[in-house]
Chain A
Amino acid sequence: MIWDALTLQLGYNATLVTLGATLLGMAAGVGGTFLFLRKRALVSDAISHATLPGVALAFMVMVALGGDGRNLIGLLLGAALSAAAGLLLVSWLSNRTRLAEDAAIGSVLSVFFGLGIVLLTVIQTMSAGRQAGLEDFLLGSTAGMLRNDALIIAVAAALTLALVLLLRRPLTLASFDPEYGTAIGQNVPRTDLAMMGLVLAVTVVGLKIVGLILIVALLIIPPVTARFWSERTDHVVLISGALGGIAAYVGAALSAAQPNLPTGPIIVLVGFALFALSLLLAPGRGALSALLRHRRYQRRVHLRQGLLALAHGQPIYEQLTLRLLRAEGYALPDGVATKAGRGRAAKALRDETRWQLIRRDPAYEAAAQQYDGLTPIETVLTADQIREIDSRIDMRGGVMA
């Protein structure tokens, strides 16, 4: 059953929904990256919560016009309008008043949601039963979706993805270096507007699949995950799109195969699992590798400082330093240097002295930039250069240990 779902053999509707979700996941992953890089990830939370009153109002308007009220395109249009209003209010509050953006986001999302709830209770009393579809927008629901709706979502998701890919270049530039973007004549406010438009499109298209409470996860989790795997903006964009697509595809397929697995939460949890793995295990930025690197670095620093202290005949104050020196056989428990320790201490002191000399000399400015207290000088300078430095040390009459 799960295999059938993953290979898209669960019927026309389920396949459409899975494909639509995958396309949407990719669009959200790519679009969300720009939001994340501009440090505005949670603006999407305001946008998504702000869709609720729009959905309810659209329903009421369509009923008032004599329609059924459940026309998906109409509902999504309403969602887009009120989300845009919410977005405008967020930027008005944070630009025109003294409120910070987080307070603006939080107030807009909660007030719009509250208003939406009020309108939903109004609808409940309007004509019992007919509103059943609207609650699905909170948490998403793909079970028993109409064929027409599934088609609309798949097409809209494909269009959103096409739009994202079209705007990829200017958005990458604007999120990486807005000032440079301005300098080369890019209209940054307009690019920002385009970015928000994309986020809005992803949100609205995703409402029916993932629901308005969880749609932000699609925009936030894949970029954050991708960031662990690359330092290059263009790579992060691609990885994030791929991760978003994978999470949405696996999630939607699993949910189609099992009755008790709601689509939105499963997609989010698959995405979160990928995030957790990356957080812990990614090379470079992952937590484990960062921890090991920090420990290694701290030990090198302590060892180096310990050796320098030995070379100067100074007492060693810190236990960790002493422990490391003893473990390497450079010092005895009372802090006195061993023969090996004296040799290493002399070498460390000589290195340090050379480093200090080249850091004072403008001629070596490029090499001196690489100073971190630990790098052996042989890896930066040629043997000739080191000889030249050493001759200066002798000339200055400094003490060579």
Chain B
Amino acid sequence: MTLELASNRETAPTSRADSPLAVRGMTVSYGQKPAVFSVDMTVEPGNMTAIIGPNGAGKSTLLKAALGILTPLAGTATVYGKPVSEQRHRIAYVPQRASVDWDFPTRVIDVVLMGLYPQLGLLGRIRPVHRARATDCLARVGMEDFATRQIGQLSGGQQQRVFLARALAQDADLYLLDEPFAGVDAATEKAIIAVLKSLRDAGKTVVAVHHDLSTVAEYFDNVFLINTHRVAEGSVEEVFQANHLQDAYGGRLAGAQMDALQLS
């Protein structure tokens, strides 16, 4: 058994230049306490990767700092080998539901059309082809009947699906989702995961912050385990093991939970 984290950083099979998202030496701190410390991450292309770790382990923070939504104290992030600022058109980001003003006066279809903004520019007219595309994206998440609803009238799961539809409209290569299953109903969870899998099958890369350990193996190909530090990174079979989880979660993961995951 090797001591994964600090002493043995084997080079990942995917090189930095090819990786849809590569993070090097990322440190983000709120005040004087690091939320993320010196983290390296190399996402493999064409895969679904879950970022998992205990509460407060810096999962969302890592994602936001990589995207430039937060300013890191140290570290760099590249998307397909180039700085994030040059690759924005290849990224679709789905924020946490709670980060948005759901009282905003707008309709479902308008939110999805926001995903086409980079294409439309400041003043480009919204043409029937754009509307058709937005409606199509809504249909892929099963929300086409809600197109003219005000967003505040949707349930949590429906709001999450609208966000996913907006990301689909962006037609990106890399999809980053922050807790997409938080507070959504089972039907929505199934619908979302089906869409994400279809994206992966079409050669796209999906990275999601995830907190439900019981579904990791079922939903994802790869796992990035974090607890302020990178704990482990690799395929579900390699990484999603009792010893790594113990390393990430410490005493916070009770034996019973481990049993439920059928790992040992």
Contacts and interface: CB of A to CB of B under 8 A. Distances in A.
Q: Is chain B in direct contact with chain A in the complex (CB below 8 A)?
A: yes
Interface of A: 98, 293, 297-298, 301-302, 304-305, 308-309, 312, 314, 317-318, 320-321, 349, 352-353, 356, 359-362, 365, 368, 371-373, 393, 396-401
A399 B3 CA distance: 8
B229 A356 contact: yes
Interface residues of B, number: 29
Ordered nearest first, which 8 A-B pairs have the shortest CB separation? A362-B251, A398-B3, A373-B37, A399-B7, A352-B6, A353-B6, A360-B247, A305-B38
Interface in B1-38: 1-3, 5-9, 24-25, 27, 29, 32-34, 37-38
Interface string B62-79: 000000000001111000
Contact of A321 (B7, B74, B247): B74
A293 B31 CA distance: 10
Given A308-B6, A317-B24, A301 B74 contact: yes
B251 A317 contact: no
Contacts of A293: 32
Nearest to A309: B25
Nearest to B26: A305
A305 B246 CA distance: 25
B32 A372 contact: yes
B27 A362 contact: no
Contact of B73 (A301, A349, A368, A398): A301
Contact of A312 (B9, B29, B103, B247): B9
A308 B38 contact: yes
Contacts, number: 84
27 contacts: A98-B103, A293-B32, A297-B73, A298-B74, A301-B34, A301-B73, A305-B27, A305-B38, A314-B9, A318-B74, A349-B6, A349-B7, A353-B3, A356-B6, A356-B247, A360-B250, A361-B251, A365-B251, A368-B250, A371-B228, A372-B33, A372-B34, A373-B34, A398-B7, A399-B3, A399-B7, A401-B7
A331 to B, nearest CB: 15
A230 B228 CA distance: 30
A400 to B, nearest CB: 8
Interface string B56-97: 000000000000000001111000000000000000000000
Contacts of B229: 356
B142 to A, nearest CB: 29
Contacts of B228: 371, 373
B3 A393 contact: yes
A263 B91 CA distance: 58
Quick one: which of A349, A361, A373 has the most chain B CB within 10 A? A373
A71 B6 CA distance: 78
B205 interface: no
A376 B30 CA distance: 20
A85 to B, nearest CB: 27
Contacts of A368: 250
Nearest to A358: B250
Quick one: which of B2, B33, B37 has the most chain A CB within 10 A? B37
Interface string B92-116: 0000000000010000000000000
A39 B7 CA distance: 47
Contacts of A312: 9
Contacts of A98: 103
Contact of B76 (A298, A302, A318): A318
Nearest to B251: A362
A396 B1 contact: yes
A318 B25 contact: yes
B221 to A, nearest CB: 25
Given A320-B74, A401-B7, 8 more contacts: A353-B6, A368-B250, A372-B32, A373-B38, A396-B1, A397-B1, A398-B2, A399-B7
B188 interface: no
Contact of B32 (A297, A371, A398): A297
A237 B246 CA distance: 46
Nearest to B3: A398
Quick one: which of B5, B25, B227, B228 has the most chain A CB within 10 A? B25
A393 B6 CA distance: 12
B34 A359 contact: no
A353 B9 CA distance: 13
Quick one: which of A298, A312, A352, A360 has the most chain B CB within 10 A? A360
Contacts of B7: 349, 353, 398-401
A399 B250 contact: no
A160 B67 CA distance: 53
B105 to A, nearest CB: 10
Nearest to B40: A314
Nearest to B78: A317
